[in-house]
Amino acid sequence: MNVFVIFGASGKVGRVSAASLRNAGHAVRAVVRNESQGERLARMGCEVVLADLLDPASVARAIVGADAVQILCPVPVGDADPGGTMHRMIAIAADALRANPPPHVLALSDYGAELDHGTGITLLFHALEKQLQTAVQHLTVLRAAEHMQNWARVIPAALATGKLPSLHHPLSKRFPTVAAQDVGLLAAELLLDESRRSGSRVVSMEGPRRISALDVARALSDASRREIIAHEVPRNDWTAMLLRAGLGANHAQLIIDLYHTHNAGRIDVEEGIGERRFGTTEFTEVLASMLPGAAAVAS
């Protein structure tokens, strides 16, 4: 029986990938950072393995005997130098996969990862792709648009104040977005695809339709039954807002660089490269799942 190793298996994408593979009858090794994260995965029938992406030995152990590996580079929360930490994670993962390469590796990446400068956090996914291209023979890169679930960060503030803060400028700009669960389902599908045995494959994914900050505010108004107005946060206020949200200065700068490039129209699907897929989950469905928790925080 093939063994599928899922790093970040307790996350929004990884958990769906693991569940999809288990439902199809496959053996899944769920890689998490602590035992509590693995409880739900163990109930699914996954083999739960503890590993830290900054610990080379634990990463190496996690991929032993793997037929396919789903890898990611998570943004470390509360890290003083998230960019530097992510670069170390990438190097450790690439070294482990180079030393013991599985037949297939799928890397979770982002729209804009083909760009080599000025993209903030997305530049780290550029580094992930580049390192893995030289480390493994059969690499699938799944580039996803901005996750719909990211709006959960600002919905409590919107419910409390009636203003939805947005770094997307202008508010009418439509941008690609996708539900995390759709990314997880496609990742599992691509891991199971044996039609390509070697080489690199790039698959870009977004949701069924593009949205704007105005659309988000309108949907939130309808769902919460209160008036919510989209607010274009002035560029000069971005740093202060992000610092108030608890981000460190370096993390805030990575976000600022990303949105500056996004608003310039450079973060999008790489035209003419690879394949395009579209999820089926609408933003209103994701919003409905986020609203109860956001309302509790806002109150």
> Where residue 176 falls among pLDDT bands split at 50, 70, 90?
very high
133 part of a folded domain: yes
Angle at 79 between CA 73 and CA 82, to 5 degrees: 45
Task: Report the pLDDT averaged over residues 9-37.
Answer: 96
Task: Report the pLDDT averaged over residues 101-120.
Answer: 96
What integer pLDDT is reported at residue 194 of this predicted model? Answer: 78
75 part of a folded domain: yes
257 part of a folded domain: no
Distances (CA, A) of 280 to 167, 183, 185, 212: 25, 10, 11, 18
**Nearest-angstrom CA–CA distance, 233 and 166:** 6
The alpha-helical segments, DSSP class H, found in the chain are 12-23, 35-44, 56-62, 82-99, 122-135, 155-161, 180-192, 213-224, 238-244, 249-263, 283-298
Instruction: Decide if pLDDT at 294 tops 80.
Output: no
Q: Which of 30, 62, 25 is nearest to 47 (CA)?
A: 30
pLDDT digits (tens, 9 = 90+) for 121-168: 999 999 999 999 999 999 999 999 999 999 999 999 999 999 999 999
Per the structure, the complete domain to which residue 75 belongs is given by: 3-146+178-206+268-280
242 part of a folded domain: no
100 part of a folded domain: yes
**Nearest-angstrom CA–CA distance, 250 and 80:** 7
Find all residues with CB under 8 Å of 88, minimum gap 6, and list them: 54
Instruction: Decide if pLDDT at 70 tops 80.
Output: yes
pLDDT digits (tens, 9 = 90+) for 88-106: 999 999 999 999 999 999 9
Instruction: Decide if pLDDT at 295 tops 90.
Output: no
Cβ atoms of 59 and 93 within 8 Å: the answer is yes
* CATH number, position 61: 3.40.50.720
Cβ atoms of 95 and 57 within 8 Å: the answer is no
151 part of a folded domain: no
Q: Which residues on neighbouring strands pair with residue 176, listed in sequence order? A: none
Instruction: Decide if pLDDT at 241 tops 90.
Output: yes
**Nearest-angstrom CA–CA distance, 262 and 24:** 38
What integer pLDDT is reported at residue 117 of this predicted model? Answer: 94
pLDDT digits (tens, 9 = 90+) for 74-92: 999 889 999 999 999 999 9
What mean pLDDT is reported for the chain? 95
Q: Which of 16, 86, 76 is nearest to 46 (CA)?
A: 16
Domain count, the chain: 1
158 part of a folded domain: no
Instruction: Decide if pLDDT at 296 tops 90.
Output: no
Instruction: Decide if pLDDT at 299 tops 60.
Output: no
Task: Report the pLDDT averaged over residues 62-72.
Answer: 97
Instruction: Decide if pLDDT at 244 tops 80.
Output: yes
pLDDT digits (tens, 9 = 90+) for 209-234: 999 999 999 999 999 999 999 999 99
